[in-house]
Chains A and B, each alone.
Chain A
Amino acid sequence: MAEPDLRVNLGGIKLQTPILAASGPYGSGLEYPKMAPCGALGAIIVKGISVDPWLGNPPPRLVETASGLLNSIGLQNPGLKFFVDHDLPALRKLGPKIIVNIIGRTVEEYAAVASELNGLPGVDGLEVNISCPNLKAGGMAFGTNPALTAEVVKAVRAKTVLPLLVKLTPNVTDIALIAKTAEEAGADVISLINTLSGMLIDIEKVEPVLGNAFGGLSGPAIMPVALKMVWQVAETVSVPILGMGGITSAEDALQFIMAGARAVALGSGLFYDPALPDKVKKGIAGYLQRRGISSLSLIEGSARKGDTNNEPC
């Protein structure tokens, strides 16, 4: 049979493949393509951009864990102006669509970044990282509270006509509630999951390993958690889902699609294998071909089979 059709429409962004580079590990988007071709990527999600540069957290900033990676980079980024002047012109030439992850300490900061990026040539979509602490709410992460989630998503929505992804934190009691809130506030796509909160202690130094004490856990260790949350959110929202969390193979990626994701993003998996996007693309195509399935879209949510009444354990 002919090559299976891997194209997907992610909330208005037309992607050649359902494989994205997740915000964070892929950096500015300009480092990895020098090491491994980025042609298998449908889109690159640029590491979080804030109005002003953010310094990031004190080192050590990362440590490997059992099948995972704990990091406290602290959203270090060169700020909006540097991004627009230096990175964006080069990103436009790469090929994949460019989605900019945006961050802020206040609702106004998020809105300001969204406003500046709206209509800029080369920006195909925005992803709002709502895991940032809200300075005006005692440092509570926007994404852990439905009211704060609605507030920040509405503020960004008002400033942009670009397709809007909202990236959820898994560190909540009810991820479906936050997802529904984000959808109602104007999200075109729900991205999930961000990292799981965690820490490690150095028993020789008798202090936390990370300079920031707490960090975010990613990697294969969190994949089943992420997959279940994608499943739950797919039950709740009608907008497409971008699934991520510990994907290191085409088999992992297919599970996210079958759970209800339209597309998947690769994060820490890139560290062990910079050529992972190409392998995932080939693996997905091979799976579809072997089963005589002409298009990836035919298996979106296919594992659900109408089963919507699972016990919440």
Chain B
Amino acid sequence: MRLLEALNRVSLGQYTLLEKEIIGSQYCRLVFLAPSVAGAAQPGQFVMIYPPNAGVQKILPRPFSIFAADRETGQLTVFFRIIGTGTALLSLSEPGTELKIMGPLGKGFPVPPAGSLLVAGGIGMAPLVFLAASVKVELNFIYGVANSEQFSCPLDYINQPNLVLHEVTEDGSRGELGSAVDLFRRLLPRAEAVFACGPRTMLEIVARDCLDSGVAAWVSLEERMACGIGACRGCAVMTKNGYQRVCSDGPVFPVEEVFFHGRT
């Protein structure tokens, strides 16, 4: 039923790329004019973008968390790490070209209560920036990366009046020295709820600590996908209810569903 509801608002179409920014050597931000996608997007949902000039060489679309969606301007932004040929092809697209996009897809985050703690590891910040921007309540936002070069998100996206940003790098080159997990452990006692996205090892620790301390928590998971709409069963993740589809049962799951005995 959840899937049906989500799919009712999904569109599949060609959308114009308005803006492209390459950040450092590894990151890319793309802004599309996609009113029907942006208008329906909820934080935590994702879109499938079809790499350009492909279809034979590359046959799969690529899933990206929605980084920003502006109902009024119809702009949809994704922010990703250039990590393989699919993302490399997308990063070569020039503004003015049209790309095929399907979305918004999947089940997003619930509305965070005041005092929520958002924990972002690396590029996992993308869906959490959208989540933070969607509410007015006070939030703590941990943004942990390996070094300052990986601090990819432009601050004007995160610097909102309702949000206390905690920057942390593993080499101390920016913000605090340490890991997102160190900060998370310090801030957890004051957290009303936790929302996390990042590397699997980070999510496992976040989930275990939240379960131990009884704090409600949600994580956004990542898995390779083919269809993006629940048909192919390619993006399965083990949950306490058996294999679930990251694309349509998730990508956001309550931690007790996916980290039920310390594994996913």
- A residues with a Cβ closer than 8 A to B are 24-28, 31-32, 34-36, 47, 55-56, 58-64, 66-69, 71, 73, 76, 219-220, 248, 268-275
Contacts and interface: CB of A to CB of B under 8 A. Distances in A.
Interface of B: 3-4, 7-8, 10, 12, 50, 54-61, 86, 102, 223-227, 229-238, 242-243, 248
B223 A272 contact: no
A272 B230 contact: no
The 8 closest A-B pairs by CB, nearest first: A27-B231, A31-B231, A62-B234, A34-B7, A76-B233, A271-B226, A272-B59, A31-B229
Contact of A69 (B60, B233, B238): B60
Given A27-B232, A64-B86, A275-B12, 13 more contacts: A25-B231, A28-B231, A31-B227, A32-B227, A69-B60, A69-B226, A76-B236, A219-B59, A220-B59, A270-B227, A271-B59, A271-B60, A272-B60
Per DSSP, are chain B's interface residues mostly helix, strand or loop, or mixed?
loop
Given A219-B59, A248-B55, A274-B102, A71 B234 contact: yes
Contacts of A47: 231, 233
Nearest to A209: B224
Nearest to B48: A271
28 contacts: A24-B232, A31-B3, A31-B230, A32-B227, A34-B4, A55-B243, A59-B237, A61-B234, A61-B235, A62-B232, A62-B234, A63-B224, A64-B58, A64-B59, A67-B59, A69-B226, A73-B234, A219-B59, A248-B56, A248-B59, A271-B60, A271-B61, A271-B232, A272-B55, A272-B58, A272-B59, A274-B12, A274-B102
B236 A271 contact: no
Contact of A32 (B50, B229, B234, B236): B229
Nearest to A25: B232
Contact of A59 (B10, B231, B236): B236
A268 B232 CA distance: 10
A76 B12 CA distance: 27
Which of A32, A34, A58, A268 has the most CB atoms of chain B within a 10 A radius of its CB? Answer: A34
A176 to B, nearest CB: 29
Contacts of B237: 59
Which of B54, B223, B230, B243 has the most CB atoms of chain A within a 10 A radius of its CB? Answer: B243
B101 to A, nearest CB: 12
A303 B87 CA distance: 40
A272 to B, nearest CB: 5
B55 A273 contact: yes
A64 B242 CA distance: 25
A268 to B, nearest CB: 6
Given A25-B231, A59-B236, A67-B57, A35 B7 contact: yes
A220 B234 contact: no
A35 B237 CA distance: 24
Contacts of B229: 31-32, 34-35
Nearest to B223: A59
Contacts of A275: 12
Contacts of A62: 224-226, 232, 234-235
A101 to B, nearest CB: 14
A69 B102 CA distance: 20
A56 B12 CA distance: 29
A49 to B, nearest CB: 13
A61 B226 CA distance: 10
Contacts of A64: 58-60, 86, 224
Nearest to B85: A64
Nearest to A58: B238
B233 A268 contact: no
B81 to A, nearest CB: 16
B12 A69 contact: no
Contact of A68 (B59, B61, B233): B59
Which of A31, A67, A76 has the most CB atoms of chain B within a 10 A radius of its CB? Answer: A31
Given A220-B56, A268-B59, A35 B10 contact: yes
Contacts of B243: 55-56, 76
B242 to A, nearest CB: 6
